[in-house]
Amino acid sequence: MFGTNGVRGIINKELTVELALNLGRATGTVLDTGLIAMARDSRMGGEMFTQAVISGLTSTGCSVVNLGPAPTPTLQYMIPRLGCVGGVMITASHNPPHFNGIKVIGSNGIETTREIESEIEAVYNSRKFKTADWDKIGRVTHYDSAIDDYLEGIKSLVDINKIRERNLRVVIDGANSVGSIGTPRLLRELGCSVVSLNCQLDGSFPGRNPEPIPENLRDLAAAVTATGADLGIAHDGDADRAAFVDEKGNVLWGDKSFALLASRILARKKGSTLVTPVSSGRLIEDVAKKAGAKIDWTEVGSVVVSHRIEEIGAELGGEENGGVFYPAHQPVRDGAMTAAQIIEMIASEGKSLSQLVSELPTYFNTKVKVPVSQEKKEPILEALLNLTKDMDRITIDGVKIIRDDGWILIRPSGTEPLYRCFSEGKTQETSDHLNQEGVELIKRAEKLV
């Protein structure tokens, strides 16, 4: 039922009000009776699913504080601050418009662990819901200042005066969703002049697809150059991520913005720790090394990164898709915090975004999918582990083979009958070559099972 980021499905087909109601009942049964915070993005059915989950939760005796439409990181920020035992977010993040989803968040603001998800799923399937006595049914309240509190939290962690001095012009693309509520206001309060694009909430996503990848950000790039802006910022559907466009209209890949912030944040304290999945590349390793920081590798997935940050008290986390976790604020991905930090960096270094990026080393990537039958996925991994046992490698999630001139990461897909082979090298040719080697290893492993 739960995928890597909550329950997702097509609205009114896979994700129905009955499912939302019973998931609310199951969640209320598993979490201790207490206060649960809720929020939603601008997707279709957001209010409908919110009300269904609220009905389920309150029937078990949990009370609900409804924050209304808000970014996922705003809900996560408020959960511990409102003394909640957990939270529920209605969102399907960057998925296409006909999807929605439900994710459960723990009392520390981080998405719940797999174990709690399994407990919720078990109660959901058994239908053994807790039912409160008539006089113990939960109450519903509203909290309208979540965005204010959240933005104050971000502002307290950046150098507002430095940013104000620069009078930056910024175009913000809110993806017609909840990133539009916080970020344009935040940037204005930081003294930037703001042009907003796709900033009216609309669950049909008329402006663009909610995934902030280069092909969806052409309008933003054009708006940046047309208005002579210093940068462009784009959020995904629930604004836990931010993607950036430089002043020349180039869309940055997520690993670049992550590396820029890492170079700055990790250098603040000697011996910092950076938590990042094995899919991250050499750019981030170079940056960490230069800052005297060490890397703690994890499995792929933002929830794993958050829990690891919390566990070891790391200074920073990040993903190559542009997700940045800044635990001084909160140990989860946060699009508005990331935006504020990139702006602070441009303002205090006195350089343009393209200049800052040009100072980073460049690497080249290759990504290939190799179809395999579903039942062979596990045995192939066993065979791969065997075939590579004498190589320099990391086996936290799939197999990552480390070479002097690059690396190869081979992982089974979590959902589809295929393997993914990623590689990276100092030239495209090296990367392609390494990738070929990875694909051949998958084929050899397949023959062995």
User: Restricting to residues 79-98, which ones interact with Mg ion according to CB under 5 A?
Assistant: 93
63 binds Mg ion (CB under 5 A): no
Residues 112-171 that bind Mg ion (CB under 5 A): none
CB of 197 to Mg ion, least distance (A): 19
Residues 6 or more apart whose CB falls under 8 angstroms from that of 121 comprise: 1, 2, 26
Pick between residue 236 and residue 315 the one whose CB is nearest to Mg ion. 236
Bridge partner residues of 171 (DSSP): 195, 232
Cβ atoms < 10 Å from Cβ of 355: 13
Binds Mg ion by CB under 5 A, chosen from 238, 319, 397, 424: 238
Tokens of 191: 């003294």
CA angle 396, 423, 382 (to 5 degrees): 40
Cα(238)–Cα(174) distance, integer angstroms: 10
Cβ proximity to Mg ion, 93 vs 341, nearer residue: 93
Q: Judged by CB under 5 A, does residue 240 bind Mg ion?
A: yes
Q: Other CB atoms closer than 10 Å to residue 371's CB: what's the count?
A: 9
**At closest approach, how far in Å is the CB of 45 from Mg ion?**
17
Residue nearest to Mg ion (CB): 93
String of contacts with Mg ion for each residue 406-445, x by CB under 5 A: ----------------------------------------
Select 238 or 397, whichever has its Cβ closest to Mg ion: 238
Judged by beta carbon, residue 117 or residue 238, the one nearer Mg ion is 238
Which residue, 235 or 256, is less far from Mg ion as judged by CB?
A: 235
Q: What is the closest distance, in whole angstroms, from the C-beta atom of residue 383 to Mg ion in the complex?
A: 35
Contacts of 243 (CB under 8 A, 6+ apart): 212, 213, 217, 233, 234, 235, 236, 251, 252, 254, 257, 322
> Contact 4/303 with Cβ under 8 angstroms?
yes
Give least dist CB 133 to Mg ion, A.
Answer: 39
Alpha helix (H) ranges present in 351-394?
Answer: 353-358, 377-387
Least CB distance to Mg ion at residue 312 (A): 24
Residue matched to tokens 């998958």: 442
**Least distance from C-beta 267 to Mg ion, angstroms?**
28
Q: How far apart are CA 209 and CA 227, in angstroms?
A: 23
**Which of helix, strand or coil describes residue 13?**
coil
**6 φ/ψ sector (left φ>0, alpha ψ -120 to 50, else beta):** left
Residue closer to Mg ion (CB basis): 240 or 315? 240
- Of 189-197, 237-245, 367-375, 418-426: span binding Mg ion (CB under 5 A): 237-245
Of 336, 345, 5, 68, residue with least CA distance to 180: 336
Closest contact distance (angstroms) between CB of 444 and Mg ion is: 37
Using CB under 5 A, which of the segments 194-202, 229-237, 262-270, 439-447 binds Mg ion? 229-237
For residues 283, 288, 289, 294, the Cα torsion angle rounded to the nearest 10 degrees is -130
Q: Which residue has the tokens 């499995």?
A: 299
Could you give the residue numbers annotated as active site?
A: 93
Among 173, 230, 236, 255, the residue binding Mg ion under the rule CB under 5 A is: 236
Tell me the CA distances in angstroms from 234 to 50, 153, 171, 196, 207, one per residue in order: 26, 21, 9, 10, 12
The minimum distance between CB 4 and Mg ion, in angstroms, equals: 12
How many residues touch Mg ion (CB under 5 A)? 4
Question: Which DSSP string do the residues of 244-303 spell out, in sequence order?
Answer: EE-TTSPBPPHHHHHHHHHHHHHTTSTT-EEEEETT--HHHHHHHHHTT-EEEEE-SSHH
Query: Nearer to Mg ion by C-beta: 22 or 76?
Result: 76
Q: Which is nearer to Mg ion, 258 or 363 (CB)?
A: 258
For 303, the token pair is 């929830």
Contact set with Mg ion (CB under 5 A) = 93, 236, 238, 240
